[in-house]
Structure 1
Amino acid sequence: MDTFNIAPNSMVLTKHASVYVILKITERCNLACPYCYVFFSDDKTFEIHPATILDDTVDGLIVFLHEAIRNSGIRHVHIGLHGGEPLLLKKPAFRKMCTRLRTALDPVCALQLSIQTNGVLIDPEWVDVFAAHGVNVGISFDGTEEIHNRTRVTKKGRGTYAESRRGWNMIVEAHQAGRIGRPGILCVVAPEQSGRAIYEHFVNELRARHMNFLWPNIHHGAPEATEAFIDGCGDFMVDVCRAWFAAGKKGVEVRFLKEIIGPLLDDEVCRELPSNRNNPFELITVSSNGEISPDDVIRTLAPRFRETGYRVGGSTLNELARSNTWMEVSRAQQILPEPCQSCLWRNICRSGSPQHRYSTERGFDNPSVYCKSLKRVFSYVADNLIRGGVPIEAIERRLAATFA
């Protein structure tokens, strides 16, 4: 996929680019997961935003993307339908939105639609809707039934594993019938749990073949950012790696592993890595009322990341690129903190995700709060590749090449 090439001073986009939009089609949820960064952070804008997306926001997004396609060379557009819980949007409104997006954008770009849901509300009619509009589906699980039911709970505290699994099974069956694309599971790391047990549950019990595990959204100064918590998250991720290698992969794709292994095995991926990491529009969030902000998790860090003053239909991609907000986020991707500049894993890690680098005092000018655990994961993966027959000289050469 094409990426942005950015002139560091002008921040003007060149041609042949891609963009990923997180579209908040609802800003309410039927669950109350205690770690949720949307509803349990300092960002309370959901309280004043419309509960479901406005028609004007969909129309404005189309105008915004058409301008980007015409003037900024956008060729690939991925719209991720998010919430809250996106399936709280009524089915007729969902169908209307997807039809509008497909009709307006399919002729002018490669459009991908996806949805991330807790799966509780999926029924046969929803499956038909996803199939009709080419919507890829991801479902959030926290692990086995016991683990999932501790955290993915209703507002009355009831666990939702049975409902989520029922929805997941419908999606898997639809994929096996060739009706929709391959579904995926998204899981937030729980430092006190066994990563191996959860991975094996997803593979063996849920028949998942595509998944990812997310480091919890904490930053420097957060009360959770203790040494024990960081080490526990590292234990979990290494445990997932251990399970994946032990199983001989078996056709299972784990996204964070793919992103580590790719540049260690493939010279072309290694060469492309720096430019792929410098895309300031890898994720754009569009709220239900049309407001534009950076990545959904970054907007929770400080008011300046959510009160940008930009809206779809009235702002352009190049205007965002020149704004102080996107300049700050872009610098975080391009300019590494001093402690990271001589690190062996520098361009694979890029100091970690921006939200994990943030502190009130220094902004993004910090290594990831997970730095110690990230290095453990990278080392474990590289050691296993070497034990599996990949020449250590080849890995060392590729790591050194990313410094260029």
Structure 2
Amino acid sequence: MVRAPLSLRQFILKVHGRCNLACDYCYVYTMADQRWRTRPRAMSRVVVDSAARRIADHVRAHGIPSVELVLHGGEPLLAGPEMISYCVGAVRGAVGDDAVVQVSLQTNGTLLDRPFLALLHDLGVRVSLSLDGGREAHDRHRRGHDGRGTYDRIAARLEELEGDEFRAVFAGFLCTVDIRNDPIDVYESLVGFRPPAVDFLLPHGNWLEPPPGRDRGAVETPYAEWLIAIFDRWYGAPVRETGVRVFDEMINVALGGRSGVEGVGLSPARMIVVETDGSIEDSDMLASTFEGAAATGLHVHRDPFDAALRLPAVAERQLGAAGLPSECRGCPVRRVCGGGLPVHRYDRDGFDHPSVYCKDLFALVGHVRTRLVTDLTRLRRSS
């Protein structure tokens, strides 16, 4: 029996296709897929209107109670306040009372001034900022086109964001892991800004272009060791300082729950991307693999989002354990690690391979499970 595809719940609009930074690890601009060069710099209102209608049609066709709209880029704030407001209003207006539209925005933070914060607050948009730790750690990769670091500019913006007036806007940090940085220094630098959550991201790489420290045949687990140091610091804190998404999700799945993010657990992926030109595409992270990897041939002017659900590549991300690489299906930690992100499995002949981070994921999941089992055993004995 063939299972019907699940409806989409997250719609990522690339409202601006350029960035005012030149981060050296950016998968959009520095990796295999360079199609961004030929796309419009910014999304037009005509494309926004078509995307909004398609989202509304999808909501009504599937009876969806709530969807997430993510404003993304490039750097979405380059689109300007009027365009940000227009995008939010267009989608919410098209969907109407049929569903709740939760809106978030991912930004490098350099343009997040007080007027932008006030606008986002009034629109009910939550903001995630990219911050890689303290000044030295952050500025190693996240520099402007002039080569200068950006930490000081972002830290100044955070003084507004972490204050009581705009606290409701603050969703948390995205931090890309660099194993050269001290993990505890990075964690404590981030926690110092009182973020609601931190999302530690493994740098994108695959078997053809491995990430730093993850060459073919390497048996070391530097990324696991880095994250384990933070896990022990975070998990052992006397009070909860922040959420850490990868740890929260692993714990939830290990205890029998379902993951809410791709890359942990076996929950189906239910997101789609609309590029600045209106193209409907699979995950933009696929830009790290090969030219056109995310292309579907669909467009919001002519195609419903249901058409994407019928594509093999999109449907495969909803298959759970059946969609794992063949080598992963007998692994004892597969239900928790979920095989990692699909983009990290790529090799010359496709994606049917374990993650380039397989050894790290195995070690990290094992450590988290051991801590949980130890604590649960202690609790049962003391009750």
**TM-score (normalizing by structure 1):** 0.85
> In structure 2, which of residues 199, 210, 225 is the aligned counterpart of residue 212 of structure 1?
199
Cα shift at 1:103: 2.1
Aligned match of 1:13: 5
Distance 1:228 1:160, change over 3 A: farther
Q: Distance in 2 between matches of 1:358 and 1:246?
A: 36
Determine what percentage of the aligned residue pairs are the same residue.
Answer: 29
1:72 is the counterpart of 2:59: no
Which among 336, 339, 354 is matched to residue 348 of structure 1? Answer: 336
Q: Which residue of 2 aligns with 1:4?
A: none
- Look up the match of 2:297: 309
Give the whole-Å Cα distance in 1 for the aligned partners of 2:11 and 2:59. 14
Matched residue count = 376
Shift of 1:142: 1.0
What's the offset of the Cα at 1:357? Answer: 1.2
Compared CA separation, residues 179 and 377, structure 1 to 2 (3 A): closer
Cα deviation for residue 136 of structure 1 reads: 0.2
User: In structure 2, what residue type is equivalent to 1:19?
Assistant: R
TM-score relative to the length of structure 2: 0.90
Between stretches 380-389 and 32-41, larger displacement belongs to 380-389
Specify the code of the residue in structure 1 equivalent to 2:53.
Answer: V
Shift of 1:177: 3.2
Q: Write out aligned runs for 1:16-165 (5 A).
A: 17-165=7-155
How much has 1:284 moved relative to structure 2? 1.0
Deviation at 1:273, TM superposition (A): 11
- Give the counterpart letter for 2:327 in structure 1: P
Deviation of residue 146 (structure 1)? 1.1
- Contact 1:305/1:325, CA 8 A, preserved across alignment: no
CA RMSD in angstroms, aligned pairs only: 2.7
Query: Out of 210, 221, 231, which is 1:231 matched to?
Result: 221
Residue ranges of structure 2 left out of the alignment (5+ in a row)? none
For 2:107, give the aligned amino acid: T
Distance of 1:295 and 1:156 partners within structure 2: 30
Partners in 2 of 1:100 and 1:353 — Cα distance? 32
Structure 1 residues 327 and 273 mapped into 2: Cα distance closer, same or farther (>3 Å)?
A: closer
Looking at structure 1, the residues matched to 269 and 42 of structure 2 have their Cα atoms a distance apart, in angstroms, of 24
Partner residue of 1:386? 373
Structure 1 stretches of 5 or more lacking a match? 1-8, 394-404
Q: Per the alignment, do residues 44 and 167 of structure 1 end up closer, same or farther by CA in structure 2, a change over 3 Å counting?
A: same
CA contact (8 A) 2:259 2:267 kept: no
**How many angstroms apart in 2 are the aligned matches of 1:101 and 1:229?**
48
Counterpart Cα distance in 2 of 1:91 and 1:294: 27
Q: Secondary structure at the match of 2:129?
A: strand
2:345 aligns with one of 330, 353, 357: 357
Counterparts of 2:167 and 2:231, CA distance in 1: 31
SS in 1 for 2:296: coil
Shift of 1:73: 3.0
Classify the secondary structure of the residue corresponding to 1:151.
Answer: coil
